[in-house]
A and B are shown apart, each in its own frame.
Chain A
């Protein structure tokens, strides 16, 4: 609690991302850059993890992202948002990595990542019963496989919106596409994801927190 309060107070007086990046650019200020790394490391790691489905690759990519940001600090435009630039660089590196994997025919999304996924979920699950753990593990694997099966353009908008909590307009800025394109990609991505997940989850025992199956009462949907 005290730590959070101190961090909250410190954040009032600390640099914005853009200010820190300008300092890193003009004076090669490692402290300012360290601040950016500390702020964004976890989110960039999560993005890389969701996009590649592999924690090891995500670690490498996260490091690569910040090295690239530092190397390219001179081309950063301080009039633009730092986060937009950062997301874009991270995504491009993810795309490069996915294409490299595809070229090598290394289907890490099916094999290596599946093994890692199990490890990841074991780390994430702590207090559930063995049966619940098993069920969560299976569900996580289904979700991971379904997301990785989606084409990159749909996976990207889903990951940025759902996991990284970016607004639809921010996604459009990061991807440099119109708002309408974001919406259409999201709709198509959700439709495909539903097609992939529905049969899988439909054949399994419904989790306790799962809402009632169809037919749907429209009034439930309205309760947004």
Chain B
């Protein structure tokens, strides 16, 4: 026997299947003790889940998200219906006392609500003012910052110009001093050159004189002792 897939039993078990599938599965179940036993086990398990009860209410209350508006609306509705019903069915009702009763009831139900609303609006207004003050302060701070930056930028530019001028002046002085040193060096070099040339010329003259004297001595010696010339 071909059994349905196990998943197919789930919508059937929870009564969420379409009539045709339900009929088919029921027919199978009628002739299949195996599937019937499995389904019975599941059903038993689901019944046993009920043994575990949840606490009736949470012990702690949640943050104050009140539902007073609903209750107030319900009170207004009931009172309104009562008022209309009274007007409809009983013309002899004292309208003043009814109105007074309605007013007091409405006040009693709506005053806490209104108080809460006013409190919230006040809190909202305070928050808005704080936020606005914060925005104004931020804008003023930003403006002051821009001005300070602009001022400091101008000062910085001026200081830079002064610095550039000072650097240029120093550089000119340095250039002048360097030019002076170069002239001095050139003069020194020229004078050294002249002095050296004179020395060299003196040495040359003396050397020439000595060579001439030596040649004269050789001539004289040659004249006194003529050379022995072999025939």
0/1 per residue, A3-31, Cβ < 8 Å to B? 00011011001100000000000000011
**In the bound complex, do residue B10 and residue A168 qualify as a contact, i.e. CB atoms below 8 Å apart?**
yes
**In the bound complex, do residue A38 and residue B65 qualify as a contact, i.e. CB atoms below 8 Å apart?**
yes
Within 8 A of A (CB), among B66-120: 66-71, 73-74, 77-78, 120
Known contacts A49-B54, A124-B53, A143-B52; decide if A34 and B67 are in contact (CB<8 Å): yes
**In the bound complex, do residue A124 and residue B58 qualify as a contact, i.e. CB atoms below 8 Å apart?**
no
Within 8 A of B (CB), among A56-72: 58-59, 62-63, 66-67
**In the bound complex, do residue A216 and residue B48 qualify as a contact, i.e. CB atoms below 8 Å apart?**
no
Known contacts A55-B55, A216-B37; decide if A187 and B10 are in contact (CB<8 Å): yes
**Total residues of chain B contacting the partner, CB 8 A:** 56
CB distance from B19 to the nearest CB of A (A): 12
CB distance from A174 to the nearest CB of B (A): 15
Among B30, B45, B52, the residue within 8 A (CB) of A194 is: B45
Please name all residues of chain A whose beta carbon is closer than 8 Å to the beta carbon of B64 when the two chains form the complex.
34
**B-binding segment of A74-82, A83-91, A102-110, A158-166:** A158-166
**In the bound complex, do residue A162 and residue B46 qualify as a contact, i.e. CB atoms below 8 Å apart?**
yes
**In the bound complex, do residue B77 and residue A10 qualify as a contact, i.e. CB atoms below 8 Å apart?**
yes
User: Complex formed: what's the CA distance from A161 to B10 in Å?
Assistant: 11
Known contacts A13-B77, A214-B37, A224-B15; decide if A37 and B65 are in contact (CB<8 Å): yes
Please name all residues of chain A whose beta carbon is closer than 8 Å to the beta carbon of B56 when the two chains form the complex.
123-124
**In the bound complex, do residue B66 and residue A31 qualify as a contact, i.e. CB atoms below 8 Å apart?**
yes
B32 touches A (CB below 8 Å): yes
Majority SS of interface residues in chain B?
helix
**In the bound complex, do residue A183 and residue B65 qualify as a contact, i.e. CB atoms below 8 Å apart?**
no
**Total residues of chain A contacting the partner, CB 8 A:** 71
B41 touches A (CB below 8 Å): yes
User: Complex formed: what's the CA distance from A186 to B62 in Å?
Assistant: 33
Please name all residues of chain B whose beta carbon is closer than 8 Å to the beta carbon of A194 when the two chains form the complex.
41-42, 44-45
Residue with the highest number of chain A CB atoms closer than 10 Å, among B6, B44, B66, B73? B44
**In the bound complex, do residue B51 and residue A140 qualify as a contact, i.e. CB atoms below 8 Å apart?**
yes
Please name all residues of chain B whose beta carbon is closer than 8 Å to the beta carbon of A13 when the two chains form the complex.
73, 77
Please name all residues of chain B whose beta carbon is closer than 8 Å to the beta carbon of A208 when the two chains form the complex.
none
CB distance from A45 to the nearest CB of B (A): 5
A211 touches B (CB below 8 Å): yes
Known contacts A13-B77, A62-B58; decide if A144 and B52 are in contact (CB<8 Å): yes
**In the bound complex, do residue A30 and residue B120 qualify as a contact, i.e. CB atoms below 8 Å apart?**
yes
A92 touches B (CB below 8 Å): no
**In the bound complex, do residue A143 and residue B40 qualify as a contact, i.e. CB atoms below 8 Å apart?**
no
B26 touches A (CB below 8 Å): yes
**In the bound complex, do residue B55 and residue A143 qualify as a contact, i.e. CB atoms below 8 Å apart?**
no
A98 touches B (CB below 8 Å): no
Among A41, A49, A55, A184, the residue within 8 A (CB) of B7 is: A184
Among A41, A142, A169, A216, the residue within 8 A (CB) of B40 is: A216
0/1 per residue, A206-224, Cβ < 8 Å to B? 0000110011101111101
Among B30, B44, B62, the residue within 8 A (CB) of A63 is: B62
A73 touches B (CB below 8 Å): no
User: Complex formed: what's the CA distance from A125 to B54 in Å?
Assistant: 11
B11 touches A (CB below 8 Å): yes
**In the bound complex, do residue B30 and residue A219 qualify as a contact, i.e. CB atoms below 8 Å apart?**
yes
CB distance from A8 to the nearest CB of B (A): 10
Please name all residues of chain B whose beta carbon is closer than 8 Å to the beta carbon of A201 when the two chains form the complex.
44, 48
A–B pairs, 5, beta carbons within 8 Å = A35-B70, A42-B58, A136-B51, A187-B7, A222-B30
List 4 A-B pairs, minimum CB-CB distance, nearest first.
A34-B65, A10-B74, A124-B53, A183-B7
Q: Please give 10 more A-B residue pairs, beta carbons under 8 A apart, in addition to A34-B69, A63-B63, A117-B52.
A: A38-B70, A45-B54, A66-B62, A121-B53, A139-B48, A158-B49, A190-B46, A215-B37, A221-B36, A221-B39
